[in-house]
Amino acid sequence: MAIIHHTTLKPTKLELLTTWLPTRPWYVGAGAPELTKAGGFRLDDPEGEVGIEFMVAVDTSGPEPTAYLVPLTYRAAPLTGAEHALVGTMEHGVLGPRWAYDGCHDPVLHAELLALVEGRAQAMAQSITDTPDREVARSYTGDSPTIEGPLSTARDTAKGTELRTGDGKLVHLHRVLHPTPLPPEGVLGHVTGAWQTPDDTRTRAVFVTLHPAPGT
C-alpha cells in the first residue's frame, strides 16, 4: 500500500514537467506549457519501494487546453540504465531526495500496468491513501490468463508511447488525451480514466490500449 504524504516538493512535479514535456515527440504545444494537475491514479508497488502515478496534466498555454497522460515513477535512488528517462529530481518533505522517471521506462510500472489491464491490480486514488479509484476502468479479452512480459523498451512517437509484450503484442499509451468513453475496435485490452477540464467538466478518455501482435 502506498502512503500518500501531503507535504512539500521542491521543485514540484509540474515544474519538472514544464521543462520536460516540450522535449517529447508527442508534445503538441508551441512553447513552454502552462500546466495544472487535473486527474489520474496510482498503482501500488508490491515491494513498497517505487511510487507509481499516472498523472493527467492539462496545458492551457494554447488556444485550446490539451490534456497529457504522464506516467511517472518515484524512487529513493537512481534507476540504473535509465538516465535517458529521468524527468528530474525533487526534495520530498518527508521522504527526502526523490528521482522522478518517465514511468514508461521503469520495469516496476511495466509489471503493474500489465497487472492492471489483466485485472490483478487495483487502480488507487491519486491523493488518498488506501482508497481505490472507481473511475478507472479496464478490460482484457486475450486468449491467455496473463499477458506475457516483460515489456520492451519504450518507443516514443508523435502518436504516443509504444511498448511490446513478450509475445509481440503492442501496448500503446495515449499521451495526448481525447475525450471518449470507449476504446477503438479490435483491441485486446484497455484502461480508461477521468480528469477535470478547465471549464470544470469531468471527462473520460482511453489511457492505454493493448493490440494484437502484427500478423495475428
DSSP secondary structure string for all residues of 98-155: EEEEEGGG-HHHHHHHHHHHHTSS--B-SSSTT-B-TT-EEEE--SSSS--------E
Categorize the per-residue pLDDT at 146 as very low, low, confident or very high, splitting at 50, 70 and 90: confident
Pick from 42-56, 63-77, 84-98, 113-127: least confident: 84-98
Q: 211 with 172: CB under 8 angstroms? A: yes
Q: Give the contacts of 215 (CB within 8 A, at least 6 positions apart).
A: none
As a whole number, the mean pLDDT across the chain is 93
Q: Is residue 127 part of a domain?
A: yes
Q: Can you give the pTM of this predicted structure?
A: 0.94
Q: Is residue 67 part of a domain?
A: yes
**Domain around 92:** 9-211
CB-count exposure of residue 95 (10 Å: 0-12, 13-18, 19+): middle
Q: Is residue 171 part of a domain?
A: yes
Q: 163 with 110: CB under 8 angstroms? A: yes
> pLDDT at position 10, please?
85
Q: What's the whole-number mean pLDDT along residues 198-214? A: 95
Q: Is residue 53 part of a domain?
A: yes
Q: 3 with 45: CB under 8 angstroms? A: no
Q: Is residue 115 part of a domain?
A: yes
> pLDDT at position 107, please?
97
Please tell me the total count of domains within the chain.
1
Q: Is residue 4 part of a domain?
A: no
Q: Could you read off the pLDDT of 117-135 as tens digits, one per residue? A: 999 999 999 988 889 999 9
Q: Could you read off the pLDDT of 20-62 as tens digits, one per residue? A: 999 999 999 999 999 999 999 999 999 999 999 999 999 999 9
Pick from 21-25, 107-111, 144-148: least confident: 144-148
What H or E segment, with its residue span, contains residue 64?
none
Q: How far is CA 4 from the centre of its chain?
A: 17
Q: Give the contacts of 151 (CB within 8 A, at least 6 positions apart).
A: 107, 110, 113, 114, 163, 164, 165, 166, 171
